[in-house]
Structure 1
């Protein structure tokens, strides 16, 4: 894979502002948002709906910056941001099918474990985001798909192109920097969340660099996000009835 983006002044300023926020602001803002949701989840019926709505607005705002950077820069090609077909479409399609099957099978297993009250890996870290109503479930799916599309466009497509075109970094150094920034987005889940995000970010970044396209990373990200955000919320113990 090789890219040579040439960002305009306006695109450089907009992307730099977004990158600074993702590096310095998003980890703390995300942690505060999730902590607030966890406190209000059991007492405010629409707390999760508001949280998901704000999350959707933020993600599409970030994606809008990526689109603006592309439109404002005649020297940036869509392929520089990963908006292109994979270099080996057959392998990409095979990878999508395999990941979708794995996500479906593991999701079914996680559902059964959760319904029986058994331990589900990683469930506690996102428990406040798990839907309990039909409306919450619809929004959860929308957030999962948005996360898969927008996170890959921003963290993989835009940030790597920015590192190469604006910061003058080699491709793999820019990719490593994007993984670091993405890892910090997991800070809302604590130290373990940062490690999990770093590992997952490295995997999808490798898929992007290997295929030259965001298609496979988006498919992988979306499949796993839908699996996780549609798990049933654990039942809360109810207080005993008054005598």
Structure 2
């Protein structure tokens, strides 16, 4: 995979503003929003709906800024931002099927653990985001799809293009930098969340570099996010059988 984005001054400004937010604003905002959700989840029935609605709208706004960075740069192509067919369609289909099977199998396993009252790995870190009603579940799926599409565009597509085109970094250095910025987005889960996001970001970045397209990273991100955001929610505090 090679990139040679010729970013205009306006495109660099749009991409730079987005990168600054992802580095400095997103970790703080994500941590604050999740902490607020966790405090209000059991007391306000609409807390999760409001959280997901804001997240969906806000992420599509960030995606619009990413699109502006491309549209304002006539010398850059959509492929420079990962918006292109994968280099190897057969490999991409195979990997989508593989990760789809993993997402389905692990999701069923987690639901079995929940029915048995056993510990579900990673659930405590996102417990406040897990839906309890059909309406919340639909919003959770919409939020997972939004996260998969928009996060890949901004973290993989824009940040790597910006690193190569504006900072003059080698492709793999720009990719490593994007992983570091993405890892900070997991700060709302504490230090463990940063480490998990770093590993997940490394996987998604590797898939992007291997295929030259955001299609596979988006598909994998969406499938795993849908699995995680539709886990069985723990009982509300104070509910029969719930945590006191």
TM-score by length of 1: 0.97
Give yes or no for contact 1:41–1:48 (8 Å, CA) kept in 2: yes
Q: Does 1:185 align with 2:185?
A: yes
Show the counterpart of 2:78: 78
CA RMSD of aligned residues (A): 1.1
Could you tell me how far 1:116 is from its partner in structure 2? 2.1
Gapped regions of structure 2 (runs ≥ 5): none
Give yes or no for contact 2:66–2:154 (8 Å, CA) kept in 1: yes
Q: Does 1:152 align with 2:152?
A: yes
- SS at 2:234 equivalent: coil
Q: Does 1:32 align with 2:32?
A: yes
Q: Does 1:173 align with 2:173?
A: yes
The runs of at least 4 consecutive aligned structure 1 residues that moved more than 4 Å come to: none
Structure 1 segment 14-163 matched on structure 2, within 5 A: 14-163=14-163
Could you tell me how far 1:115 is from its partner in structure 2? 2.4
Gapped regions of structure 1 (runs ≥ 5): none
Q: 2: CA distance between counterparts of 1:233 and 1:210?
A: 36
Show the counterpart of 2:239: 238
Give yes or no for contact 1:117–1:234 (8 Å, CA) kept in 2: no
Q: Figure out how many residues of one structure are paired with residues of the other and give that number.
A: 240
Q: Judging changes above 3 Å, is the alpha-carbon distance between structure 1 residues 147 and 190 closer, same or farther for their aligned structure 2 residues? A: same
- SS at 2:168 equivalent: coil
Give yes or no for contact 2:103–2:227 (8 Å, CA) kept in 1: yes
Give yes or no for contact 1:14–1:65 (8 Å, CA) kept in 2: yes
Show the counterpart of 2:5: 5
Show the counterpart of 1:215: 215
Per-residue CA distance 1:64-110 (angstroms, 9 max, x = gap): 01111111110110000111111111010000011001100100110
Could you tell me how far 1:210 is from its partner in structure 2? 0.7
